[in-house]
Amino acid sequence: MASPLPLDYFGLLHRCEQCGTCSSACPLTDVDGFHIRRLLRHVELGFIDEIAATPMAWRCTVCARCETACPNGVPILDIVRRLRMMAPAEHVPQEPVPCVAACPARIDVPGYLRLIAQGEPTKAYALILDSAPFPGVLGRLCPRPCEPACLRAQVNQPVGICALKRYAADNAGALPADALAVEPDTGRKLAIIGAGPAGLTAAFYLRRKGHSVTVLEARSRAGGMMRYAIPRYRLPEDVLEREIHQVLSLGIALETNQALGVDFSLADLRDRGFEAVMLATGLQQSKRIDLEGTPHEDVSWGLDFLFAIGAGDEIEVKERVLIVGGGDVAVDAALSALRLGAREVTMACLESRDEMPAHPREIEQALAEGVRLMTSWGPRRVLADNGRVSGVDLVRCVSVFDPEGRFRPTFGDEQTTVSADQVILAIGQTSDLSVASDARSLRVRDGLIVADERSGKTDIGSVFAGGEIATGPGALIAAIAEGKKVAAAIDAQLGGDGVVERAGGERATNRLSDAYACYDGQRQRGFADRQRHEPPLLSVAERKQAFREVERALDAAAAIEEAKRCLQCDLERHPERLIRRQETGACSSSR
């Protein structure tokens, strides 16, 4: 195996005194077999091929803390990269970098962070659009599966990927022409039933491919759960309106107040010449249980409560509100009740704190705003006194899931009563399967339409299903990924190549060839110790005054600095490019 390590590296390695300073500084020492001092010793003794033939060098995050700590200036990172260049194919990571692999929509995270670091939020926004048509919405609502996967967390804290997505969306100017360009008309027509995140995502990508797209929506406005179930303190209406308008501006026809099975049928769509249909009606009904005392005007269901707020209805809440449930809908109902004037709000749920399905950030916000949380309690009955709700009897839940992990709560003998004037039951979501009754060939299982996992195709060859109607409850980013998946399958069925994403022109070149911050294969001093920039929050007192957005945006300086914390793992997969930049003097050293 030819060594890419030049002879002078051995001279540099003789500076190493085996003092162990680098290993002490490394956040990964002895993790998964990575140990800097042992690696350097192997190289100095000439065992280069042997060490390169192990996966050791690929376990390094290349954060440069070791180089900063080294008293003798040993070029440790360059040695690691050159060992990577010698690695056999089986040791070179083939999967996407961790943050991208964790994202259901496979957004090019390192690419758009690099553009933000270069002061190019518009290009960053356009790059995100290649994978997801709602960057501004996602920058506020995404549960951030990418951040726990971020390798920067092994150094100190993960990069604020979601906050930076929002920064790009909020600061983007006029987009480059190719970002929203529509390919030549194919002459093929399709219909999408449901203008929620999955349906609008599919419409966006299919229209860009040149197909004629009509979206039929049962409500009076597009947006689905984004509009009607997400409170404005999490998602301001102007952000949602802007991005929905951007999708529809491609030439997508929107027909509102059109409900399948009421205003039209699948047969009607065939008669109108639609060659493919996507069902994306979501789970827009509250799951209900037969609970004593529930038929009462002061007992409501979680989604119904949020939908009424989202529709702009006049909502009156009582002084003491009890929310039953532990998911995001329950948290949103609790915080909305506070904003509507409730004096005391309590959440009771079957799950323990660690088991609650709501995102931990949302739970923390509810506690910060004064919501009382009662975990491991289930409702037994709603109490009434003189025709008014007076409270709820609760019973202790000793376990939520059976040994196989199935939802099967069991209860103990302990009971308690919570006083309340109003009860909101937010115990889950379910689908309106009247869409399936329109076509008997559509199979239904566990309340969901049965569709192929890879394509969304149903038993009716021209009918596809995507989003929560096919997969069950999930996050917004999962619905977007579903919409894109189904769009690719429909495009292929209509004669396309089945590729709906495109990395446009100049944006694509930024991903590997134009790095930032003198990224010449070195790191700036102190890079590893840069701390995460957290977005500012409204004070608790300010939050309760109205439905003002709680989390604010990073300013430009903080966003750029946060983006520069990224380890740029995609570049590290190509060490030969970094070394070439350094050796050709592409950027002067910043150390």
The two structure tokens encoding residue 317 = 């809440």
- Stretches where the chain sits below pLDDT 50 are 1, 7, 505-520, 586-591
CA distance 40 to 46: 10
Are residues 68 and 21 in contact, defined by beta-carbon separation less than 8 angstroms? no
**What secondary structure letter does DSSP report for 478?**
H
Position 158 scores a pLDDT of: 97
User: pTM for the complete prediction?
Assistant: 0.91
Give the alpha-carbon dihedral of 33, 38, 40, 44, to 10 degrees: -130
Type of residue numbered 43: V
Position 585 scores a pLDDT of: 52
The two structure tokens encoding residue 94 = 């083939």
Q: 458-463: long-range contacts (C-beta < 8 A, 24 or more apart)?
A: 458/279, 460/266, 462/270, 462/275, 462/276, 462/277, 462/493, 463/266, 463/276, 463/277, 463/278, 463/279, 463/439
For residue 185, the tally of other CB atoms under 10 A from its CB is 10
Are residues 227 and 252 in contact, defined by beta-carbon separation less than 8 angstroms? no
CA distance 53 to 390: 71
Question: Domains along the chain?
Answer: 8-94 (no CATH), 99-165+507-519+535-564 (no CATH), 178-284+432-493 (3.50.50.60), 287-429 (3.50.50.60)
Position 77 scores a pLDDT of: 86
Rg (CA), the chain: 27
Are residues 123 and 179 in contact, defined by beta-carbon separation less than 8 angstroms? no
Position 33 scores a pLDDT of: 55
Are residues 443 and 420 in contact, defined by beta-carbon separation less than 8 angstroms? no
CA distance 458 to 578: 47
For residue 493, the tally of other CB atoms under 10 A from its CB is 18
Please give the backbone phi and psi of residue 346, each rounded to the nearest 5 degrees, phi first: -120, 140
The two structure tokens encoding residue 351 = 């799950």
Dump pLDDT digits (tens) for 241-285. 999 999 999 999 999 999 998 999 999 999 999 999 999 999 988
Position 572 scores a pLDDT of: 85
The two structure tokens encoding residue 72 = 């003798």
